[in-house]
């Protein structure tokens, strides 16, 4: 029985794991070398882009501050799903509200980086 398992493992390793690892390693090295080269070509912001970045950052920081200020007034459980009739079918804790600012920060950082270095894509 153990030899059958070893044979199956070897087949999986040879036909699946090794090619995937080689492809991902090649892609990773290519991405790092190309990305490292292209990251040097920063494109400066125009005045309008600076205004939009400042506005986006202000909205992001304002929403985080608003969440922090109003945290004590938010109920411990919040409705998280409604059915077609409008009745609550699922409840969640107020900790789930932290997901929104975290995703917003990640999106802001990523999109700002892409705006500075559009040659990456």
Identify the three-state secondary structure at position 97: helix
| 27 and 4 in a common domain | yes
Cα separations (Å) of 75 from 72, 97, 102, 120? 8, 11, 20, 44
Residue 3 has pLDDT above 60, yes or no: yes
Q: Which two tokens stand for residue 63?
A: 């929403």
| 116 and 59 in a common domain | yes
Inter-residue contact 108 to 116 (CB < 8 Å): no
| 93 and 58 in a common domain | yes
| 86 and 53 in a common domain | yes
Task: Give pLDDT tens digits for 48-99.
Answer: 888 888 898 899 999 999 999 999 999 999 898 899 999 999 999 998 899 9
| 115 and 84 in a common domain | yes
Give the domain range for residue 52. Answer: 42-121
d(CA 29, CA 17): 18
């Amino acid at each position: 029985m153990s030899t059958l398992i070893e044979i199956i493992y070897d087949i999986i390793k040879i036909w699946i794991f090794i090619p995937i690892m080689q492809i991902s390693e090649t892609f990773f090295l290519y991405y790092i070398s190309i990305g490292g080269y292209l990251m040097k070509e920063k494109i400066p912001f125009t005045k309008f882009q600076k205004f939009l970045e400042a506005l986006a950052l202000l909205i992001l920081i304002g929403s985080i501050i608003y969440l922090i200020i109003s945290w004590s007034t938010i109920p411990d459980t919040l409705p998280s799903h409604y059915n077609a009739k409008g009745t609550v079918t699922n409840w969640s804790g107020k900790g789930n509200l932290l997901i929104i600012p975290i995703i917003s920060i990640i999106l802001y950082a990523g999109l700002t980086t892409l705006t500075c270095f559009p040659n990456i894509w």
